[in-house]
Chain A
C-alpha cells in the first residue's frame, strides 16, 4: 500500500459497496461533511443520510475515478489507517429512482395480498402498475445513457 492511501471498507446492510485502497473520502455526518485522508487519528462518528464521496486508488497510490453513493444512517470508524463505513443502505445515485420504484413495487404487491375490499384491491393494483412503469422508465433511461 502506498503511503498516501488508506484501506476503505464501505458496507451496506445487504452488500459490500467498496473494499480496497482509497486516497480520500468525504462522509456526511452529524457534524457536517467530513473529509478523511490517510493516517487519520482513530475516531468514531455518526453518519446521517446524504451523499458520500470517495476516491479509490490503484496499487501505486494514483487516484482513480471519484465515486458517489447515496447513504442512510450508520457510523464510520477509523482504526489504524483503516476506514470502515457501516451504513444501512448505500445506492448508486443513478439507480436511486429505480431502487425506490422497486421498493414501491414490493409494497404494492403486499398490499394487493392484504386488500379486503374491492376498492382496496383496485387501489393496490393501480399502485403496482404505477411502480412497474416507473421501473421500466428508469431502466430505459439508463440503457439509453450507456
Chain B
C-alpha cells in the first residue's frame, strides 16, 4: 500500500512537466529584455510644439503647415480665413534612429530655418526601466524681411535677423491611448521689436493627447511664457496693441498610412516656433482664433 503511494509521488515530477512548464521554460530562456515605448504621438509635432517622436531611420518627411485668418476678421468674406492663410513648409530627414535634421520656410516675416531633433532617452520597461522619453529640438531662424535701414537708423546685419528656439521634450505614454509631455522651451531673438523686450524668453509647454480610435486622437497644447514681452509702460494700449498671449491649441490627429493630418484651432498664427510661442497677439477670449492644419507625408528613402 505504502509502496504504491510512494511510486505515485515519484512520478509526480513527470506530470508536472506539463505544457505550461514548456511555455514558462521558453519565457525563461528568452530572458528579460528591454521593451521600448513607441508611438507616444502620431506625429512629430503636437500643433506648435514638437513631440518626442522622430521619423524612422532613412525616412524623408515633408510637412505643410497652414494657419488660416482669424474667426473675428471678416470670417466668411475671407472664405473662412483661407484667403489670409499663413504657410510653413518643412523637409526633414533621419540619417539615424536618434537624429533628424531639416529645413523650413515660413511666410510670416519671410523666415528660413534649419533644425535638428535628437533623441536623448527612450521610455522603456523590462531590463531597463525608464519612465519618460526625452527628445531635444534646436532650431535657427533667419528673417529675410525687408528692413528700412534709413528710417530705423541702423543696419540690419545677418546676426540681427536671427532667432533661436530650443525645446526639451519630456514625454510619457501613460497608456495605449493617453500620452502627455512637458516641454521647457528657450526662445532667443537677437533683435526684438522694442528695446525693452526680453531677448531671451522661457516657456514651459504642456501637451496631451487621447486616442479615440486607432486612427484618431484629440490633442491639447498650451505654451505659457514665463517672461512675456508686453508693451513698455507709458504707451497707451488703446493704440490697438494687445499684450502677447500664450499659445493655446486644441486639435485632432488623423492618421492614414503615410500621412498624419492634424486639424486644430489655435490663437497662434506665426506658424514658426519663435512667432507662435512669444509673439501671439490673438486671444481666445476675443475670438481671435485660427483654423489650422499640419500635414505630414513620409517617404522611406534610406
Bound pair (A, B): no
Please list the residues of chain A having a beta carbon within 8 angstroms of any beta carbon in chain B. Answer: none
Please list the residues of chain B having a beta carbon within 8 angstroms of any beta carbon in chain A. Answer: none
